[in-house]
Amino acid sequence: MPDLAPLLTPSPDELAALVRELHADATPWNPSGLGQHLHWGAPLQQGTTVLSLRRHNRVLEHAAGDFTLEVEAGLPLNELQQVLAEKGQWLPIDPPVAGESSIGGIVARGVSGPLRHRYMGLRDQLIGLSLLRSDGTAARAGGRVVKNVAGYDLMRLLCGSWGSLGLITSLTLRTQPLPSRRRQLKLSGPGESLQQLRQELLLRCPMALERFCWQQQKQEPQLVVNLVSLSDEAANQQQQQLEQLGGGAIAIAAVELPELSTAPVAAGQWLLRLGLEPRRCLELLELQRGSPWQLELGAASGLGLAQADAATAAEHQVHTLRQQCQDLGGYVMVLQAPVPCRIPAWGDAPAKPLVEAIKRQFDPLQQLCRGRLPGVAPIEAMAL
């Protein structure tokens, strides 16, 4: 955790009164789950009060038959998955993390992993949420059932807001049955053949792909797919379909299946969030061949991550990658960087005036997360 103090850990009964007190004193404060990711994104104002929900970690209701779950926002993701696994269920998300992370913090950052290909993004797993505004006003969006269309979609607004609009206090989530059979395959071959196979899989192949992404780490680009099925026989049939589609130009190799849990990114490593048009992912990988970046990009979404050790990647290589993405119509967001870092986490988005207007409505005193507003370049970065 960066040098942000003091750290407040109120109980559920104390929370609303504490937020109202902070508002009355116009005290700047930062919403937090477990405090493991405060160094991610744009730098926060030093010396700001951190309000942690680590004591808000209860499962409020698990309707296993309806595949819904209501939890407090401070519940760690691994504990949530353990509760669900007892009923043969799971929350199908694999976000990048720096350590143990609360489900509220994960939603506030809004960064999904490659499982979004089958299960969509974090915001699509949300059914409802409760929050406290900066003045202590309680609000709720959504409901407790999957089919709920009442009111404004505040859930999508809060997902990815990085705590700048309010403090998420509880969430209602959509769960899924644990997959019976899973198999991971790596597909390699000429770039043109892989691109053609990608299009075939997206447009005409009925396979149940759980994960479908490009990967590259110095070597040739590869396609990685996860197959999910009810039996080994069904998985074998899907693999045979892949071999037929690929013809003789594509080599297919089964690899050890990774754990469903998310491994944390080591401290001091670069972690970047990338996004560009899916059809242009291969162009970026070709440009980055031989670079220090370990790249993973969704073959259907164009969203992904880049990682590298601080000893092998310098700031100018981050700048080069960002410029190449921008030239291809995409973007790069710095989630985690070695200290010190002069590269801005993000710049001004085209919707900057709208972002700032929403911020003023939710947080008129600008108390929350000073220095960090997604879509608005920090003042320090603009000066740099």
- Which range, of 56-65, 152-161, 370-379, averages the lowest pLDDT? 152-161
Is residue 215 a contact partner of residue 221, using CB atoms and an 8 Å limit? yes
Domains detected in the chain: 1-178+349-384 (3.30.465.10), 181-255 (3.30.70.260), 270-336 (3.30.70.100)
Instruction: Determine the pLDDT at residue 152.
Output: 59
The structure tokens 């960087």 sit at 337
Read off the pLDDT of residues 265-280 as tens digits, 9 standing for 90 and up: 998 899 999 999 999 9
Instruction: Determine the pLDDT at residue 146.
Output: 56
Predicted structure pTM score: 0.92
- Which range, of 75-79, 113-117, 245-249, averages the lowest pLDDT? 245-249
> What mean pLDDT is predicted for residues 25-30?
95
**Closest CA relative to residue 109, chosen from 33, 44, 163, 53:** 163
pLDDT exceeding 70 applies to what percent of the chain?
94
Instruction: Determine the pLDDT at residue 179.
Output: 87
Instruction: Determine the pLDDT at residue 181.
Output: 85
Instruction: Determine the pLDDT at residue 358.
Output: 95
Q: Distance between the two ends of the chain, CA-based, in angstroms?
A: 24
Residue 330 has pLDDT above 50, yes or no: yes
Element holding 185 (H helix, E strand) = strand 181-188
Instruction: Determine the pLDDT at residue 154.
Output: 83
Residue 381 has pLDDT above 50, yes or no: no
**CA-CA distance, 319 to 306, in Å (whole number)?**
13
